[in-house]
Amino acid sequence: MTAKSRVRAFSLKLRMAVLKDRRAELKERILQELKRPAPCAQTLRMLKRRKLTLKDELARHEGLLRTLDAMGHRAGLQSGNQLGRV
């Protein structure tokens, strides 16, 4: 894995951690809204939509990380093969 892809993977992992925290906060806000005597349907809809958006973004980042890991693994195999040839 190149230095640039390592930095990108690290940045993605940090971003994912932030997204997971935000998602947990939204989950808590949803639960609090549901505990109210008369939960606001519009507020719940907005919170759930935001939570779903974060879930989708997390899935995209996980896919990017898998791609970067696969590319790094292939690059390591290729450099290992080149070393064996010399």
Establish if 15 belongs to a structural domain: yes
Entry pTM:
0.74
Taking only the tens place, the pLDDT of each residue in 17-28 is 999 999 999 999
Taking only the tens place, the pLDDT of each residue in 29-85 is 999 999 999 999 999 999 999 999 999 999 999 999 999 888 876 665 555 554 444
What pLDDT score was predicted for residue 18? 97
Host domain of residue 66: 3-80
Domain count, the chain: 1
Establish if 85 belongs to a structural domain: no
Establish if 58 belongs to a structural domain: yes
SS3 track for the chain: CCHHHHHHHHHHHHHHHHHHHHHHHHHHHHHHHHHCCCCCHHHHHHHHHHHHHHHHHHHHHHHHHHHHHHHHHHHHHHHHHHHHHC
Distance CA 17, CA 29 (A): 19
Establish if 86 belongs to a structural domain: no
Establish if 55 belongs to a structural domain: yes
CATH number for 22: 1.10.287
